Amino acid sequence: MHAGKRILIVDDSKTMTGIVLQILKDANYADIDCVQDGASALALVRKKEYDLVITDWQMQPISGLELTKLIRTDARLSKVRVILITGLYGKEDEAWLSGADGFITKPFEPRELTNKVEDVLSTAALLA
């Protein structure tokens, strides 16, 4: 199920990037790239094909919310799914309106992240 799924993790915190990366590796995802800001993520998503971007909300110079909107407005990236992660509560509506496919509030359990990733990727496969 996980073979061939390419994931990009975007977080300005090396600690959080490491946590998300390890959770995904433990869930048998292998094709994973990591960057530390939204601008780098946008450039990489435009260059490589990703199935999923998991991004922190609060980053500079491009936030995860802005990154999501930019992905959604680029027709070439229409198949890329996005999960937003944030420590901000009550932001689910704003995440959905930006075009996010999933939303997780910190702190989260590893199983919550893997379930969300599997749900988003499964839904994307059904829509393809």
User: What string of pLDDT tens digits covers the 128 residues of the chain?
Assistant: 566 899 999 999 999 999 999 999 999 999 999 999 999 999 999 999 999 999 999 998 999 999 999 999 999 998 999 999 998 888 788 888 889 999 999 999 999 999 999 999 998 777 66
Provide the whole-model pTM. 0.94
pLDDT score for 2: 64
Distant-in-sequence, close-in-space partners of 49: CB < 8 Å, separation ≥ 6: 6
In order of their start, the domains of the chain are 6-123 (3.40.50.2300)
Instruction: Give the position of tokens 């915190």.
Output: 13
Q: What is the model's pLDDT at position 3?
A: 63
What is the C-alpha to C-alpha distance for residues 67 and 75, in angstroms, rounded to an integer?
14
C-alpha 22/C-alpha 45 separation (Å) is 21
DSSP string, 115-126: HHHHHHHHHHHH
DSSP state of 35: E
- Sign of the dihedral defined by the CA atoms of residues 15, 19, 73, 75, in that order: positive
Contact 36, 28 (CB under 8 A): no
